[in-house]
Amino acid sequence: MLRNARHGKILEIISEKEIETQEELCEELNKCNFSVTQATISRDIKELHLFKVAGINKRFRYTCINENEGELSDKMRSLFRACVIEIRSVGNLIVIKTLNGNGANAGVVIDRLNYKEVVGCVAGDDTTLLICETEEKAHLVRERLNKIIQD
């Protein structure tokens, strides 16, 4: 129960304040009578699928994406459009080039799309690699991803 309450408080905090580091999040939770360590915060960030985006007052801030039955939220679409530079397919692989530090953000969007044609997704610093079942399916996925960027 404590974990669920803490997760709820984390989501509340990041929606109200720009939190850039795990240490800042620790401090905010401790102010709210949640005794936490950086290791706990690190696990919570993974469990909540939090990621960083550009902040207004700070360089980066934590945020989350609310999914609606497999559909991409406007926030997710904006994230994908903002971070993707190029999408290319080579055989059954799709290579997504992103701005530095945004490979994981593109990977989060791909994972949320849950395309059945995608066997796996690996994210690096500025690249996300998708492995599709066939070359034809990779072409189809690439077209759908390009449509997200163009909409």
Q: Kindly list the averaged pLDDT for each block of 10 residues, start to end, along the chain of length 151.
A: 86 91 95 93 89 82 61 79 95 96 90 88 95 94 92 75
* pLDDT score recorded for residue 70: 45
* pLDDT score recorded for residue 66: 54
* pLDDT score recorded for residue 69: 33
* pLDDT score recorded for residue 136: 93
* pLDDT score recorded for residue 67: 43
* pLDDT score recorded for residue 53: 78
* pLDDT score recorded for residue 56: 81
DSSP secondary structure of the chain: -HHHHHHHHHHHHHHHS---SHHHHHHHHHHTT----HHHHHHHHHHTT-EEEE-SSSSEEEE----BTTBPPHHHHHHHHHHEEEEEEETTEEEEEESTT-HHHHHHHHHHHT-TTEEEEEE-SSEEEEEESSHHHHHHHHHHHHHHHH-
Structural domains in the chain, CATH included, are: 2-63 (1.10.10.10), 74-150 (3.30.1360.40)
* pLDDT score recorded for residue 89: 95
* pLDDT score recorded for residue 78: 86
